Amino acid sequence: MAKTSVTEREKRRAHLSNKTRAKREKLREAVSNIHLNDEERLSAMQKLQALPRDSSPSRRRNRCKLCGRPRAYNRLTGLCRLHMRTAVMNGLVPGMHKSSW
Protein backbone atom coordinates (compact mmCIF):
# COMPACT_ATOMS: atom_id res chain seq x y z
CA MET A 1 0.00 0.00 0.00
CA ALA A 2 1.44 3.34 -1.02
CA LYS A 3 1.59 6.21 1.41
CA THR A 4 -1.36 8.54 1.17
CA SER A 5 0.95 11.52 0.72
CA VAL A 6 2.39 9.94 -2.42
CA THR A 7 -1.01 9.18 -3.92
CA GLU A 8 -2.24 12.68 -3.10
CA ARG A 9 0.86 14.14 -4.77
CA GLU A 10 0.08 12.09 -7.88
CA LYS A 11 -3.50 13.38 -7.85
CA ARG A 12 -2.23 16.97 -7.64
CA ARG A 13 0.16 16.34 -10.54
CA ALA A 14 -2.64 14.86 -12.65
CA HIS A 15 -4.92 17.81 -11.91
CA LEU A 16 -2.18 20.35 -12.67
CA SER A 17 -1.19 18.52 -15.85
CA ASN A 18 -4.78 18.52 -17.13
CA LYS A 19 -5.23 22.17 -16.17
CA THR A 20 -2.19 23.45 -18.09
CA ARG A 21 -2.32 21.03 -21.03
CA ALA A 22 -3.67 23.50 -23.60
CA LYS A 23 -1.30 26.28 -22.59
CA ARG A 24 1.69 23.93 -22.64
CA GLU A 25 0.81 22.58 -26.10
CA LYS A 26 0.36 26.09 -27.47
CA LEU A 27 3.76 27.20 -26.12
CA ARG A 28 5.53 24.07 -27.39
CA GLU A 29 4.05 24.67 -30.82
CA ALA A 30 5.30 28.27 -30.75
CA VAL A 31 8.81 27.17 -29.73
CA SER A 32 9.05 24.70 -32.60
CA ASN A 33 7.53 27.05 -35.20
CA ILE A 34 10.33 28.12 -37.55
CA HIS A 35 8.25 30.91 -39.07
CA LEU A 36 8.30 33.00 -35.87
CA ASN A 37 11.19 35.32 -35.18
CA ASP A 38 13.77 34.53 -32.51
CA GLU A 39 12.37 36.91 -29.89
CA GLU A 40 8.90 35.37 -30.02
CA ARG A 41 10.33 31.84 -29.83
CA LEU A 42 12.56 32.84 -26.92
CA SER A 43 9.68 34.40 -25.02
CA ALA A 44 7.56 31.29 -25.63
CA MET A 45 10.40 29.13 -24.32
CA GLN A 46 10.74 31.26 -21.20
CA LYS A 47 6.99 31.08 -20.57
CA LEU A 48 7.12 27.32 -21.02
CA GLN A 49 9.96 27.03 -18.52
CA ALA A 50 8.09 29.27 -16.08
CA LEU A 51 5.19 26.80 -15.86
CA PRO A 52 5.13 24.62 -12.73
CA ARG A 53 7.40 21.60 -12.97
CA ASP A 54 4.66 19.21 -11.88
CA SER A 55 2.41 20.33 -14.73
CA SER A 56 4.51 18.30 -17.16
CA PRO A 57 2.78 15.03 -18.09
CA SER A 58 6.09 13.16 -18.03
CA ARG A 59 6.30 13.62 -14.25
CA ARG A 60 3.18 11.54 -13.70
CA ARG A 61 3.54 7.93 -12.62
CA ASN A 62 1.06 5.16 -13.35
CA ARG A 63 -0.20 3.62 -10.13
CA CYS A 64 -2.54 0.79 -9.20
CA LYS A 65 -6.08 2.03 -8.67
CA LEU A 66 -6.58 -0.10 -5.57
CA CYS A 67 -3.33 0.09 -3.63
CA GLY A 68 -1.26 2.80 -5.34
CA ARG A 69 1.64 0.48 -6.17
CA PRO A 70 3.87 2.13 -8.83
CA ARG A 71 5.57 -0.99 -10.17
CA ALA A 72 4.23 -3.90 -12.21
CA TYR A 73 1.37 -1.69 -13.47
CA ASN A 74 -0.95 -3.09 -16.15
CA ARG A 75 -2.34 -0.39 -18.45
CA LEU A 76 -5.20 -2.56 -19.66
CA THR A 77 -6.84 -2.76 -16.26
CA GLY A 78 -5.04 -0.08 -14.25
CA LEU A 79 -4.04 -2.61 -11.61
CA CYS A 80 -0.74 -3.89 -10.29
CA ARG A 81 0.28 -7.52 -10.79
CA LEU A 82 -0.95 -8.51 -7.34
CA HIS A 83 -4.48 -7.17 -7.77
CA MET A 84 -4.49 -8.23 -11.42
CA ARG A 85 -3.91 -11.83 -10.33
CA THR A 86 -6.79 -11.79 -7.86
CA ALA A 87 -9.08 -10.16 -10.43
CA VAL A 88 -8.21 -12.81 -13.02
CA MET A 89 -8.68 -15.63 -10.51
CA ASN A 90 -12.13 -14.27 -9.61
CA GLY A 91 -13.08 -13.98 -13.30
CA LEU A 92 -13.43 -10.19 -13.27
CA VAL A 93 -11.21 -9.65 -16.33
CA PRO A 94 -12.89 -11.01 -19.47
CA GLY A 95 -10.74 -13.14 -21.73
CA MET A 96 -8.01 -13.77 -19.17
CA HIS A 97 -7.41 -16.88 -17.12
CA LYS A 98 -4.63 -18.39 -15.09
CA SER A 99 -2.30 -20.36 -17.27
CA SER A 100 -1.56 -23.98 -16.48
CA TRP A 101 0.41 -26.59 -18.37
Domains of the chain: residue spans and CATH = 1-61 (1.10.287.1480), 62-101 (4.10.830.10)
Query: What's residue 95's pLDDT?
Result: 87
* Predicted TM-score of the model (pTM): 0.70
- Residue 31's pLDDT is 94
Q: Render pLDDT for 39-92 as a digit per residue (tens, 0 to 9).
A: 999 999 999 999 999 999 999 899 999 998 999 999 999 999 999 999 999 989
Query: What Cα–Cα distance (Å) separates residue 58 from each residue in 4, 14, 36, 52, 62?
Result: 21, 10, 27, 13, 11
For residue range 1-27, list pLDDT tens digits in order: 788 898 899 999 999 999 999 999 999
Strands (E), 1-101: 73-74, 79-80
pLDDT of residue 75: 92
pLDDT of residue 96: 85
